[in-house]
Structure 1
Amino acid sequence: MSEATPASEVRFPAGFVFGAATSAYQIEGAWNEAGKGRSIWDTFSQTPGNVWNDIPGDVAVDHYHRWAEDIALMKEIGLDSYRFSLSWSRLLPDGTGRVNEAGVEFYSRLIDGLLEAGISPSITLYHWDLPQALQDKGGWANRDIVDWFAEYAALVFERFGDRVPRWVTINEPIALWVGYGLGIFAPGIADERVGKQAMHNAMLAHGRAVEAFRESSAIGEIGIVLDIWARHPATDSQADRDLALRDEDDGFRFFLDELFTGRPSGRIVERLTASGIMPELLPVDERIVQAPIDFLGLNVYSRVVVSAEDYNPRWWEAAGSHPGGNYLTNGMEFYPRALTDAVTMVKEDYGVTLPLFITENGISLPGDEVVDGAVHDPERIEYLAGFLAEAGRAVAAGADIRGFYVWSLLDNYEWSASLSERYGLVHVDHSTQARTMKDSARWYADVIRNRRVAER
């Protein structure tokens, strides 16, 4: 921080990337238009009892038809970059083989529109919407997914690789545990052994996609995005400390271990083997999962305080009642230090010296309503300001954080929560699809324009 900078402000260096993020299934809609194949989320959300109020993501927020309007909103906010995902089944309706050229043309128009608006596209290959045709063959639990994903990645790099400077292979592979181990997400399988195998297969697929990127003529850089919710023991008891470490092993250390050491830690292997849910690992896997990446994306929202005496393995269902404090109106703890904790952890525990991006950070608020043409969301502004200031201080202290993406650009379709949650900088009326900039969007525009954030 320079001497001229007031103590109440945190400034960001030139080149720091301010962005917003979405995912294909959560915004596109047009679930069966123009040759798109069915995805596991189409099937899951259309099945009664799986999602809030049985509202499927068939329309989501209609980005497929409103992408130009949404780019205009991004430009008005002043985003440096827009992080979004591709629908695998829109490009390859059967998951492999036949290419849907209408899908290719849609994403090509979107990429070109972003570039024309001066917004850098950052593309995620996989954000949870596997083609149903591949799920019918076992999906992520079938090791053949590694070859299927490599084929898909090669197609994407061939068609779009000349215009996209930053790529993510997989967003939050822990979602595979939620979908295959717990059954809460698509495809709705609750089998712990299957869930762990899906997690490992995802890391293999990631590695093969990185190899496909290196073999292609695509420009730019490639990485992966992990969801980091640090577990803090409620007390210094051995039981609480062991529980915190175990939860981190299951939540994100499994993936960090594979990325940076080639296999799960001995501690994880011992426990999963004893439980009979250890995934199959082949000798070649160690090389594949460690394919060198160019950056690491961290999705950081808060921490989880765990207590062995009062433990809820589904902590997200106990928001506002688990140990901790400083709760927001949505029940989540406001803990900006979680960002620095995540950055420090990957450096100290895994020796990571790669550039880092905060690829998601945001908050769902229950009271986001349009009143007299405006949406007042001061709590979102306070939340984002806290985490952005934390990121800026970490950069000033030497952390190699290159950018920050707000989740999310729009009030989108929030998976099993359907349309019940609102994370967007932009309000969406789900009955008309009308977009309204929230106060937080205008605040973020000011942050981007001035490259600084006032601490709150």
Structure 2
Amino acid sequence: MRYTILGITGLIAAVEAQEIFHTTKGHSARSQCTQATSSPSYYFQPFSYTLNETVRYATSMPSPTTTKTYAPAYTDAVKHFTSLSTTTWGNWLPGQTVISATDTDDPFGQAAWSSMWQAADLQNYTTTGMYSTTVSPTPIPTSELVLPPSDYFGPNDCYNFPDDFVFGVAGSAAQIEGAIALEGRSPSLLEKLVADSRPKDYVTNENYYLYKQDIQRLAAMGVEYYSFTIPWSRILPFVHPGTPVNQQAIDHYDDLINTILDAGMQPVVTMLHFDSPLMFVASDNITKHPDIGYNNAGYQNETFVDAFVNYGKVLLTHFADRVPIWVTFNEPLLYAFNFQGVDNVVHAHSQVYKFYHNELKAKGKLGIKFNDNFGVPKDPKNSSHVDAANRFNEMQLGFFGNPIFRGEQYPKSILDTMPGAKRLNDSELEYMNGTSDFFGIDPYTATVVSPADEGIQACSKNTAESNSLFPYCVKQETENIYGWNIGYRSESYVYITPTYFREYLLYLWNTFRHPVFVSEFGFPVYGEADKDLPDQLFDSPRSVYYLSFMSEILKSIYEDGVHVMGALAWSFVDNWEFGDYSAQFGIQVVNRTTQQRHYKKSFFDLVDFVKTRQDRKD
């Protein structure tokens, strides 16, 4: 999941996109109807309470008959990589100390591993949750798969999704797994980033032990793709090349992938989703935030590139044969907020891409995904507002997108504004060009943009300390020029903005010239966590969000010529939103005491929308 950048200062992101801000033609809100040609007639008929009563069930995923492969199996793939040593470390629990381990001379032994947790100095880590071993799944009762009553108004369109459209749901390890210090995982940034007064990631949804049941629940609903993340610090507790691989972690995610495939679904894997290993960042250099701290996460560390590339190779060597879609970085803008950090991300991503396609000769897709609340000009007829929107979008996306997708230099706005910025040389640009198979974007909402009061140029000459709008130098709002909110608001920063979403897809496709992958989108209904369970489950505002966005995807494909590769709903279950459980983005409710899950209405509505537009013929 991602967080808004509204009001965040010192966020060093960059981008160069097209010079011209795109707009789409207006669409009337009035639906077409047929005018009655005669006066109504009135008559009597037998009455029945079941006149409008229908029952439909979710269509579960069928069991697979074959398993497609996308790369060499581990025994062959490892030939393209250095030999890997593996080991296990067990668990770290409160009260355990380094003294209990006897292998103090081993730099990668139990004592060294335990010392990392000792140094992390966790607050209020008193439990490991309800489970300590993988839970076997149970069948989903048919009674849970009955579709809810539909909303009176709904989408009315004539389009079907392309045969290769990727539809699924998403989650991230730090937000659902729990088991943070168990089975060899070492500390990540997220254990220290959130203020001690806020909920931590220690337990969350216990998905690390409940993944089989979670997968079964998704397959029962007919979900086709499941996007998840693998924690770097669980695979390589000591992070760097040459250090041992955690065999328990390899076995766990191997089984997770096989469980997804056995359920008739397909896996999408992200390598890094905010949970950078803590050793990249000194504990006394972590800036905490009441909700989530925006920190460099070690991306600018001089060892980061080699370490991440090694980690990527470990994952691809073990799992690329069965995973059709890979993502290297999730929303790196939020953590790589200085020039060196973004520069490292661009170099690391490109090297992993080359290994995947050039060395493994893999046939799946590998890309990167970004956050950006699409900047729209407050006054589209004012050229300075249009320029501000273009700057806002290019500084967030072009910093990464220019070299990776277009083989072009970092945007001028970055080179002229960001401290320490430097140009890429010709050989670097040639190497990076085209090193992504899709443009991943998490387009939760839109942002209304206008220039800083003193003007963009004057603002950009200041520093982050002297001007709160630096480095973007634009004002970010949620109201249009007429004073209306841009859409229905949520529990957090998200507003329902389907028309802007379609405009955004057009912008991305024509700017970066790669298939657009909507890798996250979702809506936390306002005040949902305070409602009784039946009212949480009947989440019509979330249904409106999903169905309107999916409708705009179809229009974008058929009316605007945009190649939209797919869409993944965030999130498949209410989870830990970086120190918060009240912003519920999930399409399932979680009982925090029992860990029981309940399907929400929006889950049924979203899947039904897609299914009825896959097999139907015009």
TM range (shorter): 0.7 to 0.9
**Aligned AA for 1:159?**
H
1:253 aligns with 2:398: yes
Cα drift, residue 12 of structure 1: 1.7
Q: Which residue number corresponds to residue 395 of structure 1?
A: 557
Structure 1 residues 73 and 438: CA distance shift in structure 2, 3 A: same
Q: Which residue number corresponds to residue 522 of structure 2?
A: 362
Cα drift, residue 440 of structure 1: 0.8
**Aligned AA for 1:211?**
K
Which stretch of structure 1 is more off in the superposition, 22-31 or 362-371? 362-371
1:203-282 to structure 2, matched below 5 A, reads 203-214=346-357, 215-216=359-360, 218-235=362-379, 236-259=381-404, 260-272=406-418, 276-278=419-421, 281=424
Deviation per CA, 1:304-361, whole angstroms, max 9, x where unpaired?
Answer: 112336898599x9875686432324363321123322322233333x1x33321111
Structure 1 residues 313 and 110: CA distance shift in structure 2, 3 A: farther
Mapped partners of 1:134, 1:280: distance in 2: 25
**Aligned AA for 1:212?**
F
Mapped partners of 1:358, 1:291: distance in 2: 19
Q: Which residue number corresponds to residue 16 of structure 1?
A: 165
Structure 1 residues 424 and 446: CA distance shift in structure 2, 3 A: same
Q: Could you say what secondary structure the match of 1:140 adopts?
A: coil
- % same residue: 27
Q: Which residue number corresponds to residue 71 of structure 1?
A: 215
1:43-442 to structure 2, matched below 5 A, reads 43-45=192-194, 47-48=195-196, 53-96=197-240, 97-136=243-282, 139-177=298-336, 181=337, 195-214=338-357, 215-216=359-360, 218-235=362-379, 236-259=381-404, 260-272=406-418, 276-278=419-421, 281=424, 284-308=427-451, 313=469, 324-330=485-491, 332-350=494-512, 352=513, 354-365=514-525, 366-368=527-529, 369-372=531-534, 375-397=537-559, 398-415=561-578, 417-442=579-604
Q: Could you say what secondary structure the match of 2:568 adopts?
A: strand
CA contact (8 A) 2:518 2:567 kept: yes
Mapped partners of 2:434, 2:304: distance in 1: 17
Q: Which one of 605, 610, 617 corresponds to residue 443 of structure 1?
A: 605
Structure 1 residues 431 and 277: CA distance shift in structure 2, 3 A: farther
Mapped partners of 1:261, 1:149: distance in 2: 22
Structure 1 residues 213 and 238: CA distance shift in structure 2, 3 A: same
**Aligned AA for 1:74?**
L
Structure 1 residue runs of 5 or longer lacking an equivalent are 1-5, 182-194
Structure 1 residues 436 and 9: CA distance shift in structure 2, 3 A: farther
Which stretch of structure 1 is more off in the superposition, 33-42 or 281-290? 281-290
Mapped partners of 2:594, 2:477: distance in 1: 31
TM-score of the superposition, structure 1-length normalised?
0.84
CA contact (8 A) 1:320 1:332 kept: no
Which stretch of structure 1 is more off in the superposition, 233-242 or 403-412? 233-242
Deviation per CA, 1:3-60, whole angstroms, max 9, x where unpaired?
Answer: xxx9545432333221001111111111000011111112223x52xxxx42111112
Cα drift, residue 429 of structure 1: 2.0
Deviation per CA, 1:275-296, whole angstroms, max 9, x where unpaired?
Answer: x342575665324433532222
Q: Could you say what secondary structure the match of 1:19 adopts?
A: strand
Deviation per CA, 1:143-174, whole angstroms, max 9, x where unpaired?
Answer: 42111111001100111111111111111111
Q: Which residue number corresponds to residue 100 of structure 2?
A: none
CA contact (8 A) 1:374 1:437 kept: no
Q: Which one of 33, 38, 57 corresponds to residue 187 of structure 2?
A: 38
CA contact (8 A) 2:376 2:447 kept: yes
Structure 1 residues 61 and 9: CA distance shift in structure 2, 3 A: farther
Structure 1 residues 290 and 386: CA distance shift in structure 2, 3 A: same
Structure 1 residues 441 and 152: CA distance shift in structure 2, 3 A: same
Which stretch of structure 1 is more off in the superposition, 281-290 or 405-414? 281-290
CA contact (8 A) 2:409 2:423 kept: no
- Aligned pairs, number: 421
Mapped partners of 1:443, 1:382: distance in 2: 9
Which stretch of structure 1 is more off in the superposition, 325-334 or 378-387? 325-334
Cα drift, residue 216 of structure 1: 2.2
Structure 1 residues 94 and 370: CA distance shift in structure 2, 3 A: farther
Q: Which residue number corresponds to residue 188 of structure 1?
A: none
Q: Could you say what secondary structure the match of 2:335 adopts?
A: helix
**Aligned AA for 1:152?**
Y
Moved over 6 A (4+): 309-312
Q: Which has the higher helix share?
A: 1
Cα drift, residue 420 of structure 1: 2.5
Q: Which residue number corresponds to residue 28 of structure 1?
A: 177
Which stretch of structure 1 is more off in the superposition, 35-44 or 209-218? 209-218
Q: Could you say what secondary structure the match of 2:562 adopts?
A: coil
**Aligned AA for 1:204?**
H
CA contact (8 A) 1:95 1:134 kept: no
Mapped partners of 1:305, 1:8: distance in 2: 29
Q: Could you say what secondary structure the match of 1:141 adopts?
A: coil
TM-score of the superposition, structure 2-length normalised?
0.63
**Aligned AA for 1:355?**
P
Mapped partners of 2:549, 2:417: distance in 1: 35
Q: Which residue number corresponds to residue 3 of structure 1?
A: none
Q: Which residue number corresponds to residue 58 of structure 2?
A: none
Mapped partners of 1:394, 1:135: distance in 2: 42
Which stretch of structure 1 is more off in the superposition, 279-288 or 358-367? 279-288
**Aligned AA for 1:421?**
A
Cα drift, residue 372 of structure 1: 4.7
Which stretch of structure 1 is more off in the superposition, 247-256 or 388-397? 247-256
Q: Which residue number corresponds to residue 184 of structure 1?
A: none
Q: Could you say what secondary structure the match of 1:258 adopts?
A: helix
CA contact (8 A) 1:10 1:452 kept: no
Deviation per CA, 1:175-230, whole angstroms, max 9, x where unpaired?
Answer: 224xxx4xxxxxxxxxxxxx222112111111111112121254412111122322
**Aligned AA for 1:241?**
V
CA contact (8 A) 2:509 2:562 kept: no
Structure 1 residues 211 and 40: CA distance shift in structure 2, 3 A: same
Cα drift, residue 263 of structure 1: 2.5
**Aligned AA for 1:198?**
G
Mapped partners of 1:376, 1:310: distance in 2: 44
